[in-house]
Amino acid sequence: MDPEEKIEELENQIAERDRKIRELELKLADCMGRVDEIRSEKSGLQEEVNRLQVMRLDLKLRDFQELEDENNRLKHRIEITKDLLDEARERLEILEDVVEGFLNQSLPERITGKKPDALIHYRERFRDGRFNNL
């Protein structure tokens, strides 16, 4: 093969390789564009996931706060009920003592109208005037 043919063949090979390089560069540019799109989409999806997680945590926190508020209301109601029951129990105990005091009075105490000490204690403790005429 003469040198001119060899040069022409080499130039053809160079041109073919240049064409392949341009094709590969175009494919690379296309792939890089797709990678950028995918990264952007991934970033958007991650932001959406984060937003949804925050919303879920907010819902859980709101549910927890509602449960805590309800628990506090129930505790308060229990305390009030307990206090009322304790007072009612104390009244009953003292009134039982009053009844027992009246039952155990001697005849002279009944005639003189002496009140049992438990009745006086009941009036003072509960400021209850219902038994003032006894």
Q: How far apart are CA 120 and CA 128, in angstroms?
A: 10
**What pLDDT band is residue 123 in, cutting at 50, 70 and 90?**
confident
Show the DSSP H helices in 104-116 as ranges: 107-112
Say which residue the tokens 């907010």 belong to: 58
* pLDDT at residue number 111: 85
pLDDT, greater one: 79 or 134: 79
* pLDDT at residue number 113: 84
> What is the CB neighbour count within 10 angstroms for residue 10?
10
Domain ranges of the chain: 1-125
- Residue 16: phi, psi to the nearest 5? -60, -45
**What pLDDT band is residue 115 in, cutting at 50, 70 and 90?**
confident
CB of 116 closer than 8 Å to CB of 102 = yes
* pLDDT at residue number 132: 64
DSSP single-letter state for residue 1 = -
